[in-house]
Structure 1
Amino acid sequence: MSLSDQLTDILNSLGGFGPELWLSVAFCGLLLAELLLLRTNVGVRRRWLAGLSIGSLIVAGIWVAVLPARGFLFTHLLFVDNQAVYFQLIIVLSAVLVLAYEASVNSAADRPVGNRLPVEWYSLVLAMTLGMFLMTLSVNLLSIYLSIELVSICSYLLTALNADRKASEGGIKYLLFGAVSSAVMLYGMSLLYGMTGTLDLTADNFGIGLSQQDAPIATVAMLLTLAGLLFKLAGVPFHVWTPDAYEAAPVPVAAFFSVAPKAAAVLVFLRLVSALPVNGPAGGATITTLQTPLAILALAGILIGNLTALRQTDAKRLLAYSSIAHAGFLLVGVVALNPAGFNAVLFYAGTYLFMSLGAFFLIDLLARSQRSDSLSMDQFAGLGSRQPLLAVALTIIMLALTGLPPTVGFTAKLLSFSALFEAYQRSNDPWLLTLFGLGLLNALISLVYYVRIPFLLFFRPAPTNLAVPASLPRFATGLSVALALITLLLFLRPDLLTNWIAGL
């Protein structure tokens, strides 16, 4: 392509790159606003920055929803399709909800509860959202790597943003494991480039080149490339950072980590897996060569996440291991390698947004009601009678995370495992049957630790020296309860989401 054609393509691509450009401008504007508001009252500065951040994200979300442009951008570096739009809306919604919750619980300047985040966190959330937007659009190994690194750098900074020892340790561990996964991913990408001669996942040469390689070699290269995505998903074996980072980070940051990076990573995961050819010469790599390794990774994540969560006494660490288990459940749909499985992944990612954020917000509010920064399990004893609305809402969320009716968690797992069983009937792979059986068994095992908090809330007496409950912000309380109600609504009306997904 000549230079003039490249310039023309760049100019034409700007029309489909509007939300990303807007987020870039908003990020720079927010940095400038921080400087301009430096001499103002802290409470006023936080309100302005929170309002500007939420407003910028809402504009980006609306722009994404109404953007008519579809197709390749910047010479096949990026690709805008309906699936990218769907995941971008999940990312924007999670960012808006997290920012709104944080602004509500820390609105009072004299509020003593909670680790108040520095004002720099608003601009970092915008930058991280921009990185995840780019991840959802990336169909080139180079753009995938750069967008993941942008998200990772922002994640490290958000984890270590508070100036205390725990935050510093969590940030350093996150950084070290992130550096290792990035190095492994980059090595895998170099192998894929050497095998195919292209970085473009959508190029014919990519699939043809892989099909001409021995299946074990191509599988190893692909798994190495998926390392960075498993890191963002909190998937095994790149999950070790998760409990320390979640425990060190303030609740809004941990809640954001549990949803948005997973949504962006799972779409890139689907794009990479789908880039493998369906058919090829005997002994060559095809899409089914990844099925067994992915089934093992999914099963390992489910087992490690659930079994380790049984021993946790800190609520944030429990939710961290729950996040690892749910990363495994997310991969169940990918393992199916059929349209039903891919649609199940989209449904699971969309509904997990409400379940995970609801869990973090409600647990945080119950801790705040006792004027405590701690999120240990014992402190929830007897709070069901003192905070009945929050306790009932948290019980609903815990049932949803387990995957029990009448919550949408049941629907999400039903769709995923139905697609997996369909794939097993087609391939007769024993690993798929093992994943099916043990995955369903682990859904029951998870009930033990998910129901532990509701059990403490309603069936354990409160300590005699329990402090007078603190008043909680109405907006944060209403938002958290609404998330629990949405999990019930989507169980009764899953078509609100499935019809949309079917049209992607």
Structure 2
Amino acid sequence: MDINDQLQHIRQSLGGTIPELFLAVFFCVFLLAELIFVKRFGKEKATSYLLNLAFAGSLVSLVLVAGQWNAAPSYRFEPLLFLDRQAVFFKILVTMAWAFTLLHVRILKYDFPAEFHALLIAAVAGLHLLTMATHLLSIYLSLELISISSYLLVALSPYKKAAEGGIKYLLFGTASSAVMLYGISLIYGLSGTLDITDDALTVGLSNNSDLVVTVTIVLTLAGLLFKLSLVPFHIWTPDVYEAAPTPLVSFLSVAPKAAVVLVLMRLAGILPVQFFPVLGGIALISMTVGNVAALWQKNARRLLAYSSIAQAGYLLVGIAAYSRFGFEAAVFYTAAYLIINLAAFFLVDLLQPRQETELKDYEGLGRSYVWISGILTIVMVALAGLPPTGGFTSKLLVFSALWESYHDQELTWMLWLLVGGILNAAISLAYYMRLPYLLFFRTVRAEAVSTNNSASGKLVAGLFLVALLMLFFSPEWLTRWISSF
């Protein structure tokens, strides 16, 4: 490719990354707007205006991403990025999580510094790039952009525990990043390429012993496992979820997972067969560790943190099944989990706004706040994977995909993963039902509560309820999108 072709390819690539360019420009504009607004309107009004500006930016970004749905699948800055309907779908999920996080901040009246919104924009830009990444270098750089933004977001939080949580987040993130970089260097040494769409990568790895390939894959997955909160890179999760403000935790619990799931699906197409038993083992261990540890939690956000570790394990089940049905089930599970988890953190925060979210503080609130508590109960039922909610549909799909793959391939580890996943789903009932029990079957505590009973909060809670029920009674509205990839 001569220089003219290179320049033309760059122009075409820039034209195909309009949402990402918008986020980059919006990030700079937002920082400038902060300086102007604070000086002109004062800190209090400026905070409100900047929140509105960030929310408007999220809606514009959503429109730009949706406009890419019918774009022809093609490379951007070949071979670094690839845009197809899969990437667009996951970018929509990420952008919706961002928009809802800002809505959460507005309804619960959080007072965040303007830097919070700017860093959130940078994190979303990194997530957008990660969904399109088809080169180990672009995957790594996207993860670093997300990670650095996340570290700062946690550390900037106006809470006493935020510094401790931020340091733990940084230390574990740095370690996983270094391990991943070492794994990438091994892949390059074994195959001579970092392009995950290049057949030379698969051939180069396959020509080595199973031990070498397995170690290389595990090391390379470290950064992705960290973002998914999977064992053994899960230790930071409970502390960060407890230390950071609930809207931020809500975003970090779903958006990075959505982008990383797509990366794992792309890797599944090129890595050797050793990749899938490793994924299956990590999924089973993560489900078990998350569910068992959650049984002893006394804080709602820590409980949801261990829940997210277990749920990430379920996400991997569909990918480990290694079939089109399995991949589609994993995408459905990701979308359903995003809705369910955003709802869980939002409703927990509505009942105890900006509090430590100790479980004992929720005792008896269900009798006074029936609507919010009732929907929170349904959300817990969805997380447990029971009907009639989208949680049941998503778990049914991933386990069905695994069962089908077991029949086709007759691999024993798939059967063990299936049995372990079902047993873990049963174990999770013990802690998912604890919060509904406290809400409705315990007496009201003497201390005064400051539940947010606003009409906007109830309306958003109602919309979540509709979405959860639709994912059970009419899941085809989502599966049609997924099948069109």
1:478 aligns to what?
Answer: 459
CA shift for structure 1 position 59: 1.3
1:405 aligns to what?
Answer: 387
CA shift for structure 1 position 360: 0.3
Tell me which amino acid in the other structure corresponds to 2:194.
L
Distance in structure 2 (CA, Å) of the matches to 1:423 and 1:81: 26
Q: Tell whether 2:435 aligns with 1:453.
A: yes
- Verify the 8 A CA contact 2:62 2:92 in the aligned structure 1: yes
CA shift for structure 1 position 190: 0.6
Offset from partner CA, 1:227-250 (integer Å, 9 cap, x none): 100000011111110000111100
2:51 aligns to what?
Answer: 50
Offset from partner CA, 1:394-423 (integer Å, 9 cap, x none): 001000000000001000000000111112
CA shift for structure 1 position 164: 4.2
Q: Tell whether 2:102 aligns with 1:99.
A: yes
Choose from 358, 364, 375 the match for 2:343: 358
| Cα distance change of structure 1 residues 361 and 163 upon mapping to structure 2, 3 Å threshold | closer
Q: Tell whether 2:359 aligns with 1:377.
A: yes
Larger CA deviation: 204-213 vs 402-411: 204-213
Aligned residues: 482
| Partner-residue secondary structure (3-state), 2:161 | helix
1:320 aligns to what?
Answer: 305
Distance in structure 1 (CA, Å) of the matches to 2:372 and 2:408: 45
Runs (5+) with no aligned partner, structure 1: 107-114, 277-285
Tell me which amino acid in the other structure corresponds to 1:99.
L
CA shift for structure 1 position 199: 1.3
Larger CA deviation: 205-214 vs 92-101: 205-214
Offset from partner CA, 1:39-63 (integer Å, 9 cap, x none): 3233321221111111112111111
1:282 aligns to what?
Answer: none
Larger CA deviation: 201-210 vs 151-160: 201-210
Tell me which amino acid in the other structure corresponds to 1:275.
I
- Verify the 8 A CA contact 1:61 1:89 in the aligned structure 2: yes
1:111 aligns to what?
Answer: none
| Partner-residue secondary structure (3-state), 1:375 | coil
Distance in structure 2 (CA, Å) of the matches to 1:47 and 1:478: 21
Q: Tell whether 2:260 aligns with 1:249.
A: no
- Verify the 8 A CA contact 1:6 1:75 in the aligned structure 2: no
- Verify the 8 A CA contact 1:365 1:477 in the aligned structure 2: no
Choose from 104, 113, 116 the match for 1:121: 116
2:169 aligns to what?
Answer: 174
CA shift for structure 1 position 443: 0.8
Distance in structure 1 (CA, Å) of the matches to 2:295 and 2:175: 28
Distance in structure 1 (CA, Å) of the matches to 2:78 and 2:412: 42
Distance in structure 2 (CA, Å) of the matches to 1:385 and 1:298: 38
CA shift for structure 1 position 4: 2.9
CA shift for structure 1 position 221: 1.0
Offset from partner CA, 1:247-267 (integer Å, 9 cap, x none): 110000000011100001111
Q: Tell whether 2:263 aligns with 1:268.
A: yes
Q: Tell whether 2:83 aligns with 1:80.
A: yes
Q: Tell whether 2:186 aligns with 1:191.
A: yes
2:470 aligns to what?
Answer: 489
Distance in structure 1 (CA, Å) of the matches to 2:278 and 2:262: 19
- Verify the 8 A CA contact 1:330 1:348 in the aligned structure 2: yes
Distance in structure 2 (CA, Å) of the matches to 1:274 and 1:239: 26
Larger CA deviation: 205-214 vs 246-255: 205-214
Query: What TM-score does the superposition give when structure 2 sets the normalisation length?
Result: 0.97
- Verify the 8 A CA contact 1:385 1:458 in the aligned structure 2: yes
Tell me which amino acid in the other structure corresponds to 1:34.
E
Query: What TM-score does the superposition give when structure 1 sets the normalisation length?
Result: 0.93
Choose from 230, 246, 259 the match for 1:235: 230
Offset from partner CA, 1:120-158 (integer Å, 9 cap, x none): 111111110000000001001111100000000011011
2:62 aligns to what?
Answer: 61
| Partner-residue secondary structure (3-state), 2:75 | strand
Distance in structure 1 (CA, Å) of the matches to 2:306 and 2:425: 14
- Verify the 8 A CA contact 2:108 2:452 in the aligned structure 1: no
Distance in structure 1 (CA, Å) of the matches to 2:225 and 2:132: 18
Offset from partner CA, 1:56-87 (integer Å, 9 cap, x none): 12111111111225300112110001100010
Distance in structure 2 (CA, Å) of the matches to 1:346 and 1:305: 21
Larger CA deviation: 162-171 vs 403-412: 162-171
Distance in structure 1 (CA, Å) of the matches to 2:453 and 2:73: 44
2:324 aligns to what?
Answer: 339
Offset from partner CA, 1:271-303 (integer Å, 9 cap, x none): 112122xxxxxxxxx3x2222211110000000
- Verify the 8 A CA contact 1:334 1:342 in the aligned structure 2: yes
CA shift for structure 1 position 119: 2.1
- Verify the 8 A CA contact 2:159 2:243 in the aligned structure 1: no
Offset from partner CA, 1:175-218 (integer Å, 9 cap, x none): 00000000010011011111111111112322222232223312
- Verify the 8 A CA contact 2:363 2:443 in the aligned structure 1: yes
Offset from partner CA, 1:364-414 (integer Å, 9 cap, x none): 11113xxx6120001111111110000100001000000000001000000
- Verify the 8 A CA contact 2:318 2:327 in the aligned structure 1: yes
- Verify the 8 A CA contact 2:199 2:270 in the aligned structure 1: no
| Partner-residue secondary structure (3-state), 1:177 | helix
2:217 aligns to what?
Answer: 222
CA shift for structure 1 position 320: 0.3
CA shift for structure 1 position 470: 4.9
| Partner-residue secondary structure (3-state), 1:79 | strand
Tell me which amino acid in the other structure corresponds to 2:242.
E
Offset from partner CA, 1:304-345 (integer Å, 9 cap, x none): 000000000000000000000000000000110111110011
Distance in structure 1 (CA, Å) of the matches to 2:264 and 2:409: 22
- Verify the 8 A CA contact 1:301 1:324 in the aligned structure 2: yes
CA shift for structure 1 position 471: 4.9
Distance in structure 1 (CA, Å) of the matches to 2:473 and 2:313: 25
Distance in structure 2 (CA, Å) of the matches to 1:273 and 1:487: 29
